[in-house]
């Protein structure tokens, strides 16, 4: 029953106890651990393996989702392929964690908003009695953990240039997704239909004029991405020194 996808167990309802528990266990706890032990991790000779372990855990959870889809007869590639903001963010942040690529790591921050909204308004029906519940929150928690790890442990923080690059990547993906949506009759990136029927503004636009709905969805992506940049400005992230220099400073601070 735990691995069953056809039944939901206790159905998931937003802003209930099982939602709160998921936020605490899969978001607050792992991020708090990274923050609390950042100095020890940075100094540790096993830092690389800790980083690899986070990536491995997140990716194994993601691949277990694909496996469960196939085992339960869900073979529609449109349901399986991770062509969405969160699926791509997982792969992108994991790539950055494995390679510590400076350019990619500084862009990662701007795509964490998908995981943020997945915790805030989860697109989920399965409750805590089903594995899908854990897969959903672990994967989105991994995105947050990857970004925070890159920021705190390696000093790879967002820049103004990274914000512009993130915009180009996002709107390139949206253009590609819209073309794919029209070709395969799906709604990647939620450009064709709203993800939640309880969102009255988007539902009204969708019912009134679907082109207008798509335009509003694109504008919403731009607004959210801009908000992540403003948040970085307010917190001082984009005003920090060059990441390599910052990392050297962090190492010097940790030195006995």
**pLDDT, one tens digit for every residue, the chain (256 residues):** 788 887 888 899 999 999 999 999 999 999 999 999 999 999 999 999 999 999 999 999 999 999 988 888 888 888 888 898 999 999 999 999 999 998 898 899 999 999 999 999 898 999 999 999 999 999 999 999 999 999 999 988 888 889 999 999 999 999 999 999 999 989 899 898 887 655 778 888 888 888 999 999 999 999 999 999 888 888 766 544 444 455 555 555 555 4
DSSP state of 189: G
Residue 125 in domain:
yes
- Asked if 227 and 167 touch (Cβ cutoff 8 Å), the reply is no
The total domain count for the chain is: 2
Q: Helix 131-154 to helix 47-71 angle, to the nearest 10 degrees?
A: 160
Single residue among 108, 141, 157 that ends a domain in this structure: 157
Which of 138, 157, 176 terminates a domain? The answer is: 157
Residues 144 and 173 in one domain: no
> Are 84 and 10 within one domain?
yes
Picking from 119, 144, 116, 136, the residue whose alpha carbon sits closest to that of residue 19 is: 119
Distance CA 181, CA 173 (A): 12
pLDDT for the residue 180: 94
Residue that is written with structure tokens 């409750």 in the block? 127
Same domain, 213 and 226: yes
pLDDT at 71: 87
pTM above 0.85, yes or no: yes
Residue 249 within a domain: no
Do residues 6 and 123 touch, judged by C-beta distance below 8 A? no
Is the domain of 139 the same as that of 173?
no
Tell whether 197 is covered by a domain: yes
My answer on whether 61 and 134 are in the same domain is yes
**Same structural domain for residues 141 and 190?**
no
Same domain, 120 and 225: no
pLDDT reported for residue 242:
45
- Tallying the residues shown for the chain, one arrives at 256
In a domain, 36, yes or no: yes
Residues 137 and 48 in one domain: yes
Q: Nearest Cα to 221, choosing from 184, 173, 176?
A: 173
Residues 121 and 182 in one domain: no
6, 121: one domain = yes
What is residue 178's three-state secondary structure?
helix
Domain range for 193 is 159-239
Q: Which long-range contacts (CB under 8 A, 24 or more apart) does 49-54 make?
A: 51/97, 51/98, 51/149, 51/153, 52/97, 52/98, 54/97, 54/142, 54/145, 54/146, 54/149
The reply to whether 133 and 76 lie within a common domain is yes
Report yes or no on 254 lying in a domain.
Answer: no
Mark residue 156 as left, alpha or beta (left: phi above 0; alpha: psi -120 to 50; beta: remaining). beta
Are 128 and 5 in a shared domain?
Answer: yes
Collapsing DSSP states into helix, strand and coil, what is residue 69? helix
Is 87 inside any structural domain?
yes
**Domain assignment present for 248:** no
Per-residue pLDDT, 160: 86
Residue 244 lies in a domain: no
């Amino acid at each position: 029953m735990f691995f069953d996808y056809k039944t939901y167990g206790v159905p998931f309802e937003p802003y209930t106890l099982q939602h709160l528990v998921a936020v605490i266990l899969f978001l607050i706890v792992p991020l708090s651990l990274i923050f609390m032990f950042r100095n020890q991790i940075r100094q540790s000779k096993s830092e690389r393996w800790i980083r690899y372990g986070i990536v491995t855990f997140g990716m194994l959870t993601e691949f277990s989702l694909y496996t469960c889809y196939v085992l339960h007869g869900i073979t529609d590639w449109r349901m399986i392929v991770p062509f969405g903001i969160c699926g791509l963010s997982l792969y992108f942040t994991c790539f950055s964690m494995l390679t510590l690529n400076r350019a990619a790591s500084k862009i990662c921050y701007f795509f964490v908003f998908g995981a943020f909204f997945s915790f805030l308004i989860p697109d989920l029906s399965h409750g805590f009695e089903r594995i899908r519940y854990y897969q959903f929150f672990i994967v989105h928690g991994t995105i947050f953990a990857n970004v925070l790890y890159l920021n705190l442990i390696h000093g790879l923080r967002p820049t103004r240039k990274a914000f512009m690059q993130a915009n180009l990547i996002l709107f390139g993906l949206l253009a590609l997704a819209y073309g794919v949506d029209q070709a395969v009759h799906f709604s990647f990136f939620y450009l064709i239909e709203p993800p939640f029927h309880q969102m009255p503004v988007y539902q009204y636009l969708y019912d009134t004029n679907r082109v207008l709905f798509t335009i509003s969805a694109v504008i919403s992506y731009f607004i959210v991405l801009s908000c992540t940049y403003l948040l970085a400005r307010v917190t001082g992230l984009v005003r920090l020194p060059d990441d390599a220099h910052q990392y050297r400073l962090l190492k010097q601070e940790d030195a006995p």
